[in-house]
Amino acid sequence: MVRELRTVRYCPIDAGNFLLMRWFILFCAGFMPATSLAQFSAPTVLSDKQVAMVVDRAVIITPEEFVPERVERLCREFLNTFAQNRGLRRLIIGTSEDTVRSALFHGSPPAVEDTGKAKPRVFDDRQSAFDRMVEAIRNQNLPRGPVARVLAIGDAAMLTVRDAHGYTEKLLAGTSDPTLVRDGKISYRLLHFVLTPPGPALRPDDYFTSIYFEAKPELSVSSVGRLMLRFKQIARGGQLRVDVRPDTFFAESWDYPAVLPFVRDSVVPSKLQYLVRGNLTCVAVGNRPIACSGDNFQP
Residue that is last in its domain, among 121, 154, 175 = 175
pLDDT averaged over every residue in the chain: 84
CA distance 268 to 155: 33
CA distance 179 to 188: 8
Q: What is the pLDDT of residues 27-41, one digit of tens each?
A: 444 444 443 555 788
Residues 208 and 64 placed together within one structural domain of the fold:
no
Residues 28 and 96 placed together within one structural domain of the fold:
yes
Residues 94 and 196 placed together within one structural domain of the fold:
no
Of 20-24, 155-159, 179-183, where does mean pLDDT reach its minimum?
20-24
Indicate whether 138 belongs to any domain: no
pLDDT above 60: residue 236: yes
Domain that holds residue 84: 1-103+143-175
In the sheet that 147-153 helps form, which strands lie side by side, from edge to edge? 44-50, 54-60, 88-94, 147-153, 156-163, 166-173
Q: Does an H or E element contain 90, and which? A: strand 88-94
Task: Using DSSP bridges, classify how beta strands 279-285 and 147-153 pair: parallel, antiparallel or unpaired.
Answer: unpaired
Indicate whether 133 belongs to any domain: no
The pLDDT score that the predictor gives to residue 63 is 95
Per the model's pLDDT, the better-predicted residue between 60 and 10 turns out to be 60
The average pLDDT across 157-168 equals 94
What's the distance, Cα to Cα, between the start and end of the chain in Å? 33
Residues 168 and 242 placed together within one structural domain of the fold:
no
pTM above 0.75, yes or no: yes
Indicate whether 110 belongs to any domain: no
Residues 40 and 160 placed together within one structural domain of the fold:
yes
Indicate whether 207 belongs to any domain: yes
Indicate whether 267 belongs to any domain: yes
Domain count, the chain: 2
Residues 191 and 226 placed together within one structural domain of the fold:
yes
Q: What is the pLDDT of residues 239-289, one digit of tens each?
A: 999 999 999 999 999 899 999 999 998 888 999 999 999 999 999 998 899
